[in-house]
Structure 1
Amino acid sequence: MTEEFPLAPDLCHLNHAAVGPWPRRTAEAVARFAEENASQGSVGYPQWLGVEQRLRERLARLIAAESADDIALAKNTSEALSIIAHGLSWSPGDNIVGIRQEFPSNRIVWESLADRGVEWRALDLAASSDPEPDLLALCDASTRMIAVSWVQYASGLRLDLEGIGAFCRANDILFCVDAIQGLGALPFDLASTRADFVVADGHKWMLGPEGVALLYVRPELRDTLSLHQFGWHMVEHCGDFDRTHWTPAASARRFECGSPNLLGVHALEASLSLLEEVGMNKVWEGIQARADHLIALIDRRGFDLVTPRESERRAGILTFRVPGVASDHLYPALMGRRVLCAHRGGGIRFSPHFYTPLEVIDRAMETLDQIVRG
């Protein structure tokens, strides 16, 4: 797999939870697309739209959706969440249940509904030893939605989506999943999670570019979302420019108002082709093996693991702290020595992918040892 990831030999890339590197095939797909534009203009536009359709089909398979028509392509996770939040009808007194430690995109969007009388209720994970029951305990007769990240960006905690989804369906509560820290890392199944909405940008574990994101809306709910963006691309008879009467597309394309990001489409489609070739079960096995390896190295050094140890409670994120050493000192020192990581949750966050050589993880930890020793 090293031929697909020609990363510089002195770089320890352990930051897939932030921005992942492109596989070689993705870089080549973008180069071909650019060259075709430069030499042929838009002659190949019909073929480009074929790539867009393949991307929708790959994304549908990635989350086990029934049809590519269920997939909309948003610009990013924040836009996708905003389409949901400001598309639903709300009544004063409604509430949304979530998690206090969420990434801002999955907090601000729900807080923005306060002027409509909608309350955002947040579980403090720091005060919870069993997050799912505590999360569900915040719900009452006025709860319209539970909106959470599948995997918490700072701690790496993975939630039990099946349990939350079953509760939501049984209590007529909408369920919105920000899957950005899980899709591309481990298998996802709509039928078992019972999610009404799934959103995820492609630039992390899916190994694609920024600027293209998945937006899934359960088909039965599509018509219930009011639209606030309009244009030629979101209508049913897209391409019939002389038609004066229009209706929103019956498919999820109704959430895409204008021209698609075909450069990003070519890139993400190529990246997902690699994940499909490998298979998500094998991808997940590879990530688990690397996480286990890294946890053993963390334990050997006596560092404090922030991420849960249980395999069912984590995905690809491993956050840890070094006793007696400030993480805001370690982070720039690691980055300065070409260990690509993140400073999250008061600790150092490593996030290797399935292809990451174990030697890279070893070298990163040895570099950390050198920094700690001074």
Structure 2
Amino acid sequence: MLTDARVRSLRADTPGCAELIHFNHAGASLSPRAVAEAVTRHLALEGSRGPMEAAALVADRLSTIRLNAASLIGAEPEDIAFGSSGSSVWGMVFAALPPLREGDRILVGRHEWGGNVATMQRAASRSGARIEVIPCREDGSVDPDVLAHMIDDTVRLISLTWLPANGGLINDAEAVGKIANAAGIPYLVDAGQALGQIPIDVAKIGCDMLKSAGRKHLRGPRGTALLYIRPEFRHKLDPLFVDVSSGPLINGMPLLRSDARQFEMSETSVALLLGLGEAISLASELGVAAIRDRIGVVSASLRDRLRHVPGVEVRDLGSTYSGLVSFTVDGILASNVKSSLAEKGINIGANGVSYTPYDMTARGLQEVARASVSYLNTEDEIVQLVEAVEAIARMAKR
């Protein structure tokens, strides 16, 4: 349990909490002091000892970080690769799947991240394959029962954004996994909004591949990402490119690594990985279940207060919610709501159609404002946010 005293301590150890009110943790969270210090300390070491020499000095720490990252999602260290962004590791593993052919089908949730959709659409256009959207239940979540009836021998991939970027929905990733596993179809999960916010067990989900950035709810630095690959699935992947670490030349031929690090390049930011390691350690110390409970309480309070503001509509789908709270204000663009709040020292996000194109188009939405909470947020901050949104809504009516 995250007590009020513990939250106060965590806020005191987060410099940004003293500067502003941050409700954009789904975009990039406020890093704790230990994360920033780990990064800057190693950069200083690189300056004094040499970058490659500094990396050698912290090799044991990097191995521990991989072990801790694996433990956080119920995996083994050899199942984990680190990268520079969620999009880059997603793109690398997608490109390593067997080539698409004419008539092949990719099944995706309606809430799929726009970057993933764009990458899949390019591949489908080149090959004559097609992308099909899995219909939703009445609550707006992906319907596993309908998915089961869409399966045939032309389906090459099931891709699911577990927690969509444009609101508080949590899709049933485990139910989708059971269908994919039963049919023997590769299953790729985008856990960008899940890592550090809700407990993750890759075995329960049944995913073959899972990715997330480190900068969101985990509170790691930008420029970090995690990729999981199920060990039994690795032999089905053929990385598009390799280097001297992931596939060194042996007797004139590249020898691909046997673990997930076949997707990891030798040239990486050790400083950022050390910062990520501090964020992983903190999440493990606090307990992701406790983090989930705290975020649930805070986000429920925010949703309830916003629902009582005239001219404001909460846009979240689903019946079980994440810490992403989406809303619109009558007569004003979400991007303008965001900029107006920024003038008051309050950070939120604003998502357009390109972020979740299928879902936004299906619901006729052009933009949504997104206030994403962390265990760091307090009731006082919620009150200040809602009062500021209420003032914007009143101005829009004049």
Shared fold by TM > 0.5?
Answer: yes
Tell me if structure 2 keeps the 8 A contact 1:51–1:265: no
- Amino acid in structure 2 at the alignment position of 1:278: L
1:111 CA drift (Å): 1.0
Which residue matches 1:278?
286
Which residue matches 2:38?
29
Which residue matches 1:15?
24
1:173 CA drift (Å): 1.5
- Amino acid in structure 1 at the alignment position of 2:316: T
Q: Find the residue that maps to 1:54 and give its secondary structure.
A: helix
Match for residue 287 of structure 1 among 295, 310, 332:
295
Tell me if structure 1 keeps the 8 A contact 2:180–2:186: yes
Report the Cα distance in structure 2 between the residues aligned to 1:87 and 1:371, rounded to whole angstroms.
48
1:127 CA drift (Å): 8.9
Report the Cα distance in structure 1 between the residues aligned to 2:235 and 2:318, rounded to whole angstroms.
42
Q: Deviations over 1:49-74 (max 9, x none)?
A: 22322221122112101x10110112
TM-score, normalised by the number of residues in structure 2: 0.86
Which residue matches 1:256?
264
Tell me if structure 2 keeps the 8 A contact 1:74–1:256: yes
1:162 CA drift (Å): 1.0
Tell me if structure 2 keeps the 8 A contact 1:87–1:227: yes
Residue 370, structure 1, aligned to residue 370, structure 2: no
1:193-232 matches, cutoff 5 A: 193-232=205-244
- Amino acid in structure 1 at the alignment position of 2:214: G
Residue 169, structure 1, aligned to residue 181, structure 2: yes
Query: How many residues of Structure 1 are paired with residues of Structure 2 in the alignment?
Result: 367
Report the Cα distance in structure 2 between the residues aligned to 1:74 and 1:46, rounded to whole angstroms.
19
Tell me if structure 1 keeps the 8 A contact 2:78–2:261: yes
Tell me if structure 2 keeps the 8 A contact 1:152–1:181: yes
Which residue matches 1:304?
313
- Amino acid in structure 2 at the alignment position of 1:316: G
Which residue matches 2:337?
330
- Amino acid in structure 2 at the alignment position of 1:352: V
Q: Find the residue that maps to 2:226 and give its secondary structure.
A: strand
Match for residue 360 of structure 1 among 360, 376, 381:
381
Residue 95, structure 1, aligned to residue 102, structure 2: no
Q: Deviations over 1:172-209 (max 9, x none)?
A: 22111000011110101111110011011111111112
Q: Percent identity?
A: 25
Which residue matches 1:105?
115
Gap regions ≥5 residues in structure 1: none
Q: Deviations over 1:257-302 (max 9, x none)?
A: 3323212101111111111110111111111111111112112325
**Is the alpha carbon distance of 1:174 and 1:309 closer, same or farther for their aligned partners in structure 2, counting shifts above 3 Å?**
closer
Report the Cα distance in structure 1 between the residues aligned to 2:65 and 2:35, rounded to whole angstroms.
13
Report the Cα distance in structure 1 between the residues aligned to 2:183 and 2:214, rounded to whole angstroms.
32
Residue 46, structure 1, aligned to residue 56, structure 2: yes
Report the Cα distance in structure 2 between the residues aligned to 1:126 and 1:209, rounded to whole angstroms.
36
Gap regions ≥5 residues in structure 2: 1-9, 353-366
- Amino acid in structure 2 at the alignment position of 1:348: A
1:101 CA drift (Å): 4.1
**Is the alpha carbon distance of 1:62 and 1:8 closer, same or farther for their aligned partners in structure 2, counting shifts above 3 Å?**
closer
Q: Deviations over 1:285-321 (max 9, x none)?
A: 11111111111211232532111363x3x21101012
Which residue matches 2:88?
79
Report the Cα distance in structure 2 between the residues aligned to 1:135 and 1:205, rounded to whole angstroms.
29
Match for residue 318 of structure 1 among 313, 316, 325:
325
